[in-house]
Amino acid sequence: MVDTRVNLSGVILSNPIIPASGTFGFGYEFAEIYDINILGSISIKGTTRELRFGNEQPRIAETPCGMLNAIGLQNPGIDKVISEELPKLRKVFKKPIIANISGFSIDEYVYCCELIGKEEQVEIIEVNISCPNVKEGGMSFGTLPENAAEVTRAVKAVAKKPVYMKLSPNVRDIAEIAAACEEAGADGISLINTLTGMRINLNNMKPVLNNITGGLSGPAVFPVALRMVWEVYEAVSIPIIGMGGVSTAEDVIEMMLAGATAVSVGAANIKDPYASKNIVESLPDLMNKLGINKLEDIIGGAH
């Protein structure tokens, strides 16, 4: 019997598979088609202080090996997430929950992380620092190491749960930013968020997305994500949640060999709502085939 358990900062997951934030709603929607307790955890939809309707349509575009999205952090706001969405998820999901927090100022990150950290079933807070800092002209918090560290320190001062900083790949040196987050007190790192891209409609010769650009996800980004997980593993000593184009159990093993402790599945859930379930169910057979008895033993094993 193989052992698929992994340890994220003292939080034990029965397996490393986590549907990524923004691709699985608040989780309970998927409980209508299968028992979501098969999953290791769920990273719920990105949450901000206030209600957000997101960007104007169209905000999704297909690409040959993935998709572009410019949803714009649509969510009901932190108060409704706590009072309505989390209770709905608790009814059908008994495993640890990862809360994904976004913000447009450090005060907003702090406010949301302090509130969500009080929720009993939320075991980890994933902080998305790909958001534009409105006080600094719109540059992403995650673009510079010093800005990423500043958010990390502020959140760690109030959070009652482990804090994982979710990094953007649209930077010069992602390992440098991860190291800055670790030094500022981060308990773990999540990577990667989407790569910036666009499409143009040849019929009207205009950008497909109303926002012009969007985030590229899906199989096309997997080799980039794998390389960045590898680089960050070399730079930090805290756990990594790897993501970016993961769609098979084989991808999961690659991510873990590169340095990930757990693995998030994103765009694959949109293409196939059973994607995460299928990966969980196929992992043990793949482990047997590869002679892996305990998943934790292979973390960083390719280094």
Q: Which two tokens stand for residue 91?
A: 């009814």
Q: Does the N-terminal peptide bond of residue 58 adopt cis geometry, omega within 30 degrees of 0?
A: yes
Q: Of the residues 65, 112, 113, 131, which is catalytic?
A: 131
Q: Which residues contact 185 (CB under 8 A, 6 or more apart)?
A: 152, 153, 156, 163
Answer yes or no: 112 catalytic: no
Write the pLDDT tens digit of every residue in 203-231: 999 999 999 999 999 999 999 999 999 99
Q: What's the structural domain count of the chain?
A: 1
Write the pLDDT tens digit of every residue in 81-110: 999 999 999 999 999 999 999 999 999 999
The pLDDT confidence band at residue 132, using thresholds 50, 70 and 90, is: low
Q: In this structure, is the dihedral angle defined by the CA atoms of residues 32, 250, 13 and 4, taken in order, positive or negative?
A: positive
Domain that holds residue 292: 6-55+75-199+216-298
CB-count burial class (<10 Å; 0-12, 13-18, 19+) for 242: buried
Distance CA 8, CA 133 (A): 29
The pLDDT confidence band at residue 152, using thresholds 50, 70 and 90, is: very high
Task: Determine contact, residues 163/155, Cβ cutoff 8 Å.
Answer: yes
Q: Compute the average pLDDT of residues 118-141.
A: 82
Q: Is residue 211 in a domain?
A: no
CA distances from 45 to 24, 73, 97, 176, 213 (A): 7, 8, 11, 27, 21
Please tell me whether the overall predicted TM-score, pTM, comes out greater than 0.75 for this model. yes
Here the CATH number for the domain that contains residue 116 is 3.20.20.70
Write the pLDDT tens digit of every residue in 227-253: 999 999 999 999 999 999 999 999 999
Q: Is residue 252 in a domain?
A: yes
Q: Is residue 65 in a domain?
A: no
pLDDT at 136 over 70: no
